[in-house]
Structure 1
Amino acid sequence: MAYVLGGRKLLYALSHGYGLPSLRTLRRYTAFTRIMPTIGTISISDILHNIEEVVFKPRTSAGKTKLRGVNLMIDETALEQRAVHFRHNNQVGGICWRHAPAVNLLLNTYESALKLSDDIKKGTAHLANELTVVAASCFGEGGTYPILALPSCKGLNADDSQKIYETVTEAWDKSGAADKVGPIWSWSTDGAMPRRIAGYRCFLSQKLSPTSPIYATLASMAGLNLYTGCNQITLDFDYKHIFKRICTLLRSTQGIVLNNGRVINPAMLARYLIRLPQHSPESVQKMLYPHDPQDVPRAIELLEAVVAVGELDYGNMDANTCGDVDALRLLGSVIKAILEPFTNVHMSLTEQITSLSTFAHLSFTLFRVSRTQYMSNQLYGDSQTMVKNAIFCLAKQQVLDPNEPFYIFQVGDDPLERLFGKLRMLGGHNTAMSYAQAIDRLGDASDLQGAFMRNPDLDQSERRLNMSRSEGVDHLSMGSFTGNLIAGSCHLPERMGRRSR
């Protein structure tokens, strides 16, 4: 932990000051986790190695044997465009996996190195500018397990994403992870177009079979899409990205048009947000025109403000103001229904599902009336898919073990975003890293996570987050929630049916 968090100099100081083992001793007697890099195209054998090293060994050493539902996540982070040499197989890495088969990556001779350099200059192969990572997380427990690290570029399409989905899913089953860790319940992504298309192909391909253990529960829910992928895997889109995209829509000139014809955009919101006692013209300006539109706390702050505006008492109003307020109240109800299950730590699981059901039905009605003037096809589909996945995963948890808690906030790919934050932290907050450095940092992050899994009392908890601040909702943990979240306490058909009538 001292070496990974503080570097060589801290370990040297502690070694001489307190008698801790030196780095040389550590490397001689301790097995550090090594992520297998992908050189060339995707290989099932590389994924099998990573599952064994990154998933099986740490969970076994930490005594985690209980079967859990598994959420696979895929996302990318920036990578420095640089070719790197891996000594274990004398090959060159850092070349985009999609284009790597067109060149020879094995350095047999000096001429082969020159030939590879020429191929890169000619564009036959591309130096990767992104690191695409697939990681696994388990419902009901912490931990993020990177099992695939691909050097990639912006030129990937839906077929490439589909290959990733299918290869990783096959490797998970082939490794025996479904029996040792748990079955795959969902695949989560941030909503990038190629991955969305591939996700619809892979995970909306067949209707839920009447013989499925969850069929009796889900089939009675009016309007629920029962199409899944193989082994009942469902597609998921990260809820925080959905929050940010709703804010992007609110901040656009076109805004959101509701069924009374009112356009809710920055010009309209600025007139009403100023009525909130905690806001000033400067704070309203920052919410509507932030320096970083991708900032999650700022996005949640805007959404909460819209909800609060809809709940204000306006007293006597003229006809024009009354129309605006009706539209704001309706929009506030929709936003509150999707926001609270992930931010209100006092809600029970039943209340969370009821709220998501409210959003699904209200959003369906508004989209049916206003179509893309309400929101884009992509955002509407992604938000409904997110709600569907949460319901499917809860139903699977009720079959697996109804006495275990189910945490709504564990859907999505946020654990992978946090893993990327650790990679930057391990590099001294330097976002520039080569493919070889990224592989090393993934291994270090896995070692650090394993140490905390074996010694959970050493991990800094987030139980005392100030939930009145928007920053708090970006760092929720299982210990943050206080409501009844036992999976068996929620009767799904009743929760969905109550709002659909």
Structure 2
Amino acid sequence: MAIASGDPRGVKHLIMQGLKERVSTNELIKRVDESIEGFYHARGYTAFDFDLALLILRLGGRKLLYAMNQCLAIPSIRALRRARRFTRLMPSFGRPTISEVRWNLSEVLGPKIQQLKDAIHHATNPPSSSAGPDAASRKLYGRTGISVCWDEISQEEVACYFPHADSVGGLCREHCGRVDLRLRSFQSAVNIAEDLDKGKVHFGKEVSVLAVASFGEDLRGAFPVAVSPTCKSETPEEGAEILRTVFAAWKDDPDLTEYLGPLWTFASDGDAGRRAMVYSMLMAKKIDLSHPLYKIVGHLPGLNLNVGDDDITADFDWKHEIKRLGRLMRTQDGIVIGDTIVNCHTMTRHLSRIPQLSAVAVDRLMNPSDSQDVPRAIDLLRAISSLSALPLDDYTPTELQEHRAITIVGEMLSAFVDAFISPEWSLTQQVVSLSKYAHMIFALYRQHQASFMPHQLYGDTQTTVKNVIFCIAKQQLLDGNQRFYLYDTGDDKLEELFGNVRMQGGHNPNFSFKQLVDRLGAAIDIDAVFTAHPELHQGSRRRKVTRTEHADHLNHASWTGDTVVDNVNLRSAWAEGRKAATNSLSKLCIAPGFDVLFRSSSSSIDMLQPIRPGKFPGVSMEQDRSLDSEAPAPANSPATRTTSTGTAPGESESEPDSSSSNHVAPGCNTRTSSSASLQGESSSAGGVINNSESELGELVM
């Protein structure tokens, strides 16, 4: 009756405390009455109470936490400070230094390493407190790899004051070395304002955030280790120096590699400047016959074997690539398959034949209001794949030819997308599917080059496939009993961290550099709570792979397929994917001749160098039509200040490969066209190309 008529604060704590003290039932009832009247307050909180208080503080602020403490017996700010450690990050006013990166690594990962050490110590129960973990306990940690992610987030173009350094922040790292950022006097502020007015230094347009993320199941989320504003004028060489600084800081601390794992990959979203850096830095050398990885990946014909120092490989985010594939299918130029142009007009006509899609639904797929919407892109790619099941009774000859080309496009797109979003698939099925995709676009790109797919998108998706293969091979060498989840590749974990940053402050996406640094620290705390209590996390609508309200994000718990790496035979899976690609291409009478092209492990061309050795399409400066709006980079822009366009570092120009054309299957009569011919003959409404056969010319980047 007392509880029904009143609202006792912390009734759970009150009863728990009473049971702990073994008080009588009458005493418990008396305490409930006193709690309702405000005379008695139970003390004591659980770990969940502190996690909830931390979440309230980080999302709603101190006043909301105070209100919750008063009415719901949530821990107060003082109690929270005693029980929890708030994450703080060291900003970089200029280019990140190794000392700043070390400080951030210690701040965000030091407590987790200490937790691992304590857990191992208790689990193994060594004879003395000073003894380290024994050989058996070493299997409990450091058994997977680490990815370094790099992405930018917008900031307000304003200066801000950092008391710990008595300096001004928010200016671009590229030019802030020209001015004195210390506020020694009022004149110091005047000098900085004058330098900004003269253009000697600029406000940072965006903030570069470098973070580390684990492929394992114990360490979840992205952990920022470098935060620095940029005016976007940085050269690839300067960006590479920042990345080397992060790599060096990780290697300098032996605990990081021992307890969390070695660095395996560098992931980005496909920024043009970083793409050039990736090719120059992470494809600098080729693994040789004596390398431990060679016995696993060296017998996969066509796989590019170039890596960076410490065998680090490049990666691009697969969700960004899915969005770009969707945009590519919506463009006026479209793609060329065989002798057919498949563009937005062609796709609209054929999608309208699907009974389940209304005219409005087709228009939403082809003209989305939000081009960054991942679910919408997946819906489009899946709808294209479903066209192969339609009856063909009322098709005209031209429509039949278009349908055959679209069927190949659907198989190609689904081979890439399904590998990442099908939780019932085993790791072997995923590798087979990605191998099929890689072989299909290799053959079609050799035939039509940029008319089939933009150079950059081709290079990015092939790099993604290559990185998956290398990560599985590295995991097999490190610990084959571990699981590997393909969707953990890319930089999506950093995107999720950015979502937690924007979620703070009433979902206000605008913040200064100082506010961003504070919010990043808070975002780490938020992510830690959501990781410990996933039922509290609603997720992000645009980043989901499905709009179904009750469908989980892709996560380790929801993936039902076999992902143990020792159960994967990369050699047979790669070969099976190549066979599937050959069968699909034969429907258009294309015989790619993979056996001839990759006749030996020393073949001069591979998936990333499809035309001739040393020519990487991914570093092209041509316009990428799979992006929203990207003009060709000026000749003197940072992205172009690299080696010869499309040429690998240290390589010289060479003659076109004499066997660059795909073979035609016996009994088939297909007409192919070069990029130049297509530009002159293609119709804006799509359709069939009537050009004579032409030789494959030099790859123009």
The TM-score with structure 1 as length reference comes to 0.94
Aligned to 1:200: 279
Matched, 1:415 2:497: no
Contact 1:139 1:407 in 2 (8 A): yes
Give SS of 2:210's match. strand
**1:60 to 2:114 alignment:** yes
1:173 corresponding residue in structure 2: 251
Which residue does the alignment assign to 2:267? Answer: 188
Contact persistence 1:297–1:471 (CA under 8 A):
no
Shift of 1:7: 1.9
Match of 1:150 among 228, 234, 248: 228
Question: CA offset at residue 25 of structure 1?
Answer: 5.0
TM-fit CA distance, 1:311: 3.0
1:180 partner SS:
helix
Contact 1:254/1:265 (8 A) holds in 2: yes
Letter in 2 for 1:126: H
Q: Which residue of the partner structure matches residue 22 of structure 1?
A: 76
| Aligned residue type for 1:197 | A
Q: Is 2:87 the counterpart of 1:33?
A: yes
Match of residue 105, structure 1, among 177, 181, 190: 181
Gaps of 5+ in 1: none
1:170 CA displacement: 1.2
SS in 2 for 1:58: helix
CA 468–158 in structure 1, closer or farther in 2 if over 3 Å, else same: closer
Deviation at 1:212, TM superposition (A): 2.8
CA contact (8 A) 1:41 1:100 kept: no
* 364, 368, 374: which one aligns with 2:446: 368
Matched, 1:119 2:195: yes
Distance 1:202 1:467, change over 3 A: closer
Report the identity percentage.
37
* SS of 2:111 mapped into structure 1: helix
Q: Which residue of 1 aligns with 2:557?
A: 479
Which residue type is aligned with residue 66 of structure 1? Y
Distance 1:398 1:473, change over 3 A: farther
1:404 CA displacement: 1.3
- Contact between 1:85 and 1:93, CA under 8 Å: does it hold in 2? yes
| Bigger mean CA offset, 210-219 vs 415-424 | 210-219
Whole-Å separation in 1 of the counterparts to 2:505 and 2:385: 40
Residue 255 of structure 1 contacts residue 263 of structure 1 at CA under 8 Å; is this kept in 2? yes
Amino acid in structure 1 at the alignment position of 2:141: K
Q: Is the 8 A contact 1:92 1:106 kept in 2?
A: yes
- C-alpha deviations, 1:163-210, integer Å up to 9, x for none? 222111111111332223111110011111100000111100011143
CA separation in 1, counterparts of 2:546 and 2:225? 36
- Residue in 1 that maps onto 2:634: none
How far, CA to CA, are the matches of 2:573 and 2:465 in structure 1? 13
Instruction: Check if 1:49 corresponds to 2:103.
Output: yes
Say which SS state the counterpart of residue 347 (structure 1) adopts.
coil
Instruction: Give the alignment of 1:49-448 within 5 angstroms.
Output: 49-61=103-115, 66-67=141-142, 68-141=144-217, 142-176=220-254, 177-259=256-338, 261-315=339-393, 317-448=395-526
Corresponding residue SS for 1:404: coil
User: Distance between the aligned counterparts of 2:551 and 2:97, measured in 1?
Assistant: 38
Distance 2:326 2:526 in 1: 35
Q: Does 1:13 align with 2:67?
A: yes
The structure whose residues are more often helix, as a share, is 1
Q: Residue type of the partner of 1:243? A: I
Q: Displacement of 1:15 after TM fit?
A: 2.1
What does the per-residue CA deviation read over 1:436-478, in whole Å, with 9 as the maximum and x for residues that have no partner? 111111111112333455x44765488xx99764788893111
Name the aligned partner's letter for residue 281 of structure 1.
Answer: A
CA contact (8 A) 1:41 1:97 kept: yes
List per-residue Cα deviations over 1:282-320 (Å, max 9, x = no partner): 111111111111211111111111111123232364321
Q: Which moved more, 1:485-494 or 1:16-25?
A: 16-25
State the Cα distance separating 1:277 from its structure 2 match: 2.2
The residue type equivalent to 2:241 in the other structure is K
Alpha-carbon RMSD: 2.2
In structure 1, the partner of 2:663 is: none
Shift, 1:9, TM fit: 2.2
Deviation for aligned residue 1:14: 2.4
Q: Structure 1 residues 473-482 or 171-180, which shifts more?
A: 473-482
SS at match of 2:526: helix
CA distance, structure 2, for counterparts of residue 354 and residue 78 of structure 1: 38
Do 1:80 and 1:432's aligned partners in 2 also have CA atoms closer than 8 Å?
yes
SS at match of 1:330: helix
Letter in 1 for 2:492: D
Larger radius of gyration: 2
Displacement, 1:234? 0.3
Q: Structure 1 residues 451, 268: CA separation in 2 closer, same or farther (over 3 Å shift)?
A: closer
Q: 1:403 to 1:50 in 2, by over 3 A?
A: same
CA contact (8 A) 1:222 1:500 kept: no
Give the structure, 1 or 2, with the largest relative contact order (CA under 8 Å, sep 6 or more): 1
Equivalents in 2 of 1:221, 1:331: separation in Å?
24
| Matched residue type, 1:378 | Q
Number of paired residues?
497
The answer as to whether partners of 1:311 and 1:329 remain within 8 angstroms in 2 is no
1:213: Cα distance to partner?
A: 2.3
Deviation of the 1:30 alpha carbon? 4.6
What is the CA-CA distance between 1:49 and the residue it aligns to? Answer: 0.5
State the alpha-carbon separation in 2 of the partners of residues 460 and 297 from structure 1: 19
Measured against aligned partners, the alpha-carbon deviations of 1:227-251 in whole angstroms (never above 9, x if no partner) come to: 0000100000111111111122111
Distance in 2 separating the partners of 1:357 and 1:30? 47
Shift of 1:29: 6.6
Task: Tell me how far 1:349 sits from its aligned partner.
Answer: 0.6
What whole-Å deviation, never above 9, does each CA across 1:318-337 have from its counterpart, x for those lacking one? 32121011101111110011
Q: Which amino acid aligns with 2:572?
A: E
Equivalent position SS for 1:235: strand
Post-superposition Cα deviations, 1:17-46, rounded to whole Å, max 9, x if no partner, equal 344443245446753211001022321101
SS at the partner of 1:160?
A: helix
1:89-116 Cα shifts (integer Å, max 9, x gaps): 1111111111111110011111111111
Q: Secondary structure at the match of 2:557?
A: helix
**SS in structure 2 at match of 1:428:** helix
Residue type of the partner of 1:425? Answer: M
- Mapping of residues 450-461 of structure 1, within 5 Å: 450-453=528-531, 455-456=532-533, 460=537
What's the offset of the Cα at 1:401? Answer: 1.4
Of stretches 149-158 and 116-125 in structure 1, the one that deviates more from structure 2 is 149-158
Change (3 A) 1:25 1:481: closer
Does the CA-based 8 Å contact 2:374-2:545 persist in structure 1? no
* Structure 1 pair 493–50 and aligned structure 2 pair: CA distance change class (3 A): same
Q: 1:468 to 1:447 in 2, by over 3 A?
A: closer
